[in-house]
Amino acid sequence: MMKPSFLKGWRDNCEKLKAAGEAPLLIGYLTMAMKITPNLERACNFAGEQLGGRMGQDLRRRLSACHLRLHSGADEALRGFAQHWEKVLPELGRSIYLIRSSLNERRASRERTLDRSLQLVLQGARARMREFSSSINLPTLLIYSLGVLLPLVLVVILPVLSVMELQIGPVPMVLLYCVLLPLLVYFLSSSVLSRRPASFPLPGVKARVNWFRSIFAAAFTSVLIPVACLWLGAPSEIMVLAVLWGLVLGISLSLHLSFRGAFRRREEIIQMEEEFSEALVQLGNRVSEGHPAEEALRHVAVTMAGSKLAEVFRAAASNISLGGMGLRAALFEENRGAMREVGSGMIQGTLKMLVDLIERSTRAAGEAILQTAQHLRELREVREEMRRSMAEVVTSMRAVALFFAPLITSVAARVQGVLSEKTAALEFFGTAGISPPEFLLILGVYVIILTVILVNYVVEIELGDDGLAKRMAVAGALPVAMVVFTAGTILGGQLIDFLLG
């Protein structure tokens, strides 16, 4: 039996590994701020404000201790931070050392050192993801074999067991297909995911859930379809499919009603962050040429017409020209500022830092804006590269979850039904312990559970531990899997009957 201290240490290590996904963003924000203003305390404050995970919390805690004179300065706080986290990410300690040492260098040399610091942590993130992607082929094959092929093998064994006078009834089959096999698949997939390197954290959006509406809609949908089929006097096989469809549509509808708004809002924020680096290039070029901020903002709005950011910059330019507001108020004023509805902390924090520099020196601000755009572009490219490295596994497992698993499982149910009918008249085989409709229902529930597990596995492989994306992926995947299961049940039975005459 594992000791509680061991469990606590294991859980703490897992949380640190998840938090390590913030490392590229942390170094990116630190180097970005240091290039604009070579002040270590200000750079740490900026990075700490943008990071919401455990790494950001640790940095903010150490900065607070610095303000309370528990550290001699930001350099000591950052050194302690690096010593704590380099046990998880060795390259992070080296990157932070380069950032600290850049303070003593001239501008050109300091920028090269900061660039090396960012490249160190990005190379480490790439290497860990490549190593992980090459190590999951065998575990993924085991998940496929255990979750998809094993149920088909068990169906073939059932008639053999009846010969041995071992009658397996509905309860053991429920325990096997709806409890034991899903648990095995879940623990195997969790074991694989526990080794996944942490990914870049996505923007946090709080879902406003009307639980009463969601639960009522799910319950109503789940009951309506089976009751309608029962009222119409549908055969037992159709009744089973109606029960399964009611369950699937109830779950899917509940998830859509609960999380669709938050998911769309976050997708808008992600789109804005992807467009932000291009907007900064346009803004930096205009500012470098000596154009006033109002004209630069309006130029960006025209150039990026049709995007969400274009509306933000157009509103800021209007606040300056028509509202008589300064640049800072035009962007960040509480009631009328153009950024008041932008939910991205990264965009808000970066623009606040750049506005400070624009108010001091327009030419220096133009160069800093272009450097910031390059940093953000590098971070985005690494994020896309990490996602591409997982593309093959993600595509294959998504096909398994949506097509192969429900199709093979539905065929297995039909095979069991045919075998039960063919062997029922033979005394040698005895009687089946479970009827075909019962077995179809059990395998249908198994498909629902397996789809949820595999879709969660695919999403976490691709995006990391993202609960919002998992819920929306499950909401979309369940109806697709049930369509395949229904088609396999109907067409598969006809095909088997045709082949057997």
Q: How far apart are CA 24 and CA 21, in angstroms?
A: 7
* pLDDT at 429 (0 to 100): 42
Tell which residue, 217, 191, 162, 230, has the closest CA to residue 426: 162
Query: What is the percent of the chain with per-residue pLDDT over 90, rounded to a whole number?
Result: 6
Q: Model's pTM, two decimal places?
A: 0.81
State yes or no: pLDDT of 479 exceeds 90.
yes
- The arithmetic mean of pLDDT across residues 148-163, rounded, is 68
Cα torsion through 57, 59, 63, 69, rounded to 10? 100
Burial 51-83 (b: 16+ CB within 10 A, else e): bebebbebbbebbeebeeeebeebbebbbebbe
* pLDDT at 2 (0 to 100): 45
* pLDDT at 6 (0 to 100): 45
Looking from the CA of 501 toward its CB, the CA atoms found within 13 Å total 0
* pLDDT at 426 (0 to 100): 46
Q: How far apart are CA 84 and CA 107, in angstroms?
A: 29
State yes or no: pLDDT of 256 exceeds 80.
yes
* pLDDT at 414 (0 to 100): 75
108 Cα distance to chain centroid = 38
- The arithmetic mean of pLDDT across residues 430-437, rounded, is 64
Contact of 148 with 404, CB cutoff 8 Å: yes
Start-to-end CA distance of the chain, whole Å, equals 57
Q: How far apart are CA 354 and CA 332, in angstroms?
A: 13
- For 36, the token pair is 């604009």
Q: In which band, very low, low, confident or very high, does the pLDDT at 14 lie, cut at 50, 70 and 90?
A: low
pLDDT, tens digit, 9 for 90 and up, residues 443-477: 889 999 999 999 998 888 888 778 888 999 999 99
Looking from the CA of 412 toward its CB, the CA atoms found within 13 Å total 26
* pLDDT at 412 (0 to 100): 77
Looking from the CA of 218 toward its CB, the CA atoms found within 13 Å total 18
* pLDDT at 363 (0 to 100): 65
* pLDDT at 41 (0 to 100): 83
Say which CATH class 272-386 falls into: mainly alpha
Burial 246-268 (b: 16+ CB within 10 A, else e): bbbbbbbbbbbbbbeebbebbbb
Contact of 448 with 478, CB cutoff 8 Å: yes
- The count of other CB atoms within 10 Å of the CB of residue 337 is 20
- The arithmetic mean of pLDDT across residues 381-386, rounded, is 77
* pLDDT at 200 (0 to 100): 65
pLDDT, tens digit, 9 for 90 and up, residues 54-106: 788 888 888 887 766 666 677 888 888 888 887 777 888 888 888 888 888 88
Q: In which band, very low, low, confident or very high, does the pLDDT at 361 lie, cut at 50, 70 and 90?
A: low
- For 270, the token pair is 């992600």
Q: In which band, very low, low, confident or very high, does the pLDDT at 498 lie, cut at 50, 70 and 90?
A: low
State yes or no: pLDDT of 176 exceeds 60.
yes
State yes or no: pLDDT of 108 exceeds 80.
no
Burial 421-442 (b: 16+ CB within 10 A, else e): eebeeeeebbebbbebbbbbbb
**Alpha helix (H) residue ranges in 425-466:** 436-463
- For 210, the token pair is 């009307």
* pLDDT at 478 (0 to 100): 93
Q: In which band, very low, low, confident or very high, does the pLDDT at 216 lie, cut at 50, 70 and 90?
A: confident
Q: How far apart are CA 270 and CA 342, in angstroms?
A: 11
What is the secondary structure of 286-327 as a DSSP string?
HHHTT--HHHHHHHHHHHTTTSHHHHHHHHHHHHHHTT---H
Q: How far apart are CA 328 and CA 258, in angstroms?
A: 37
Contact of 19 with 53, CB cutoff 8 Å: yes
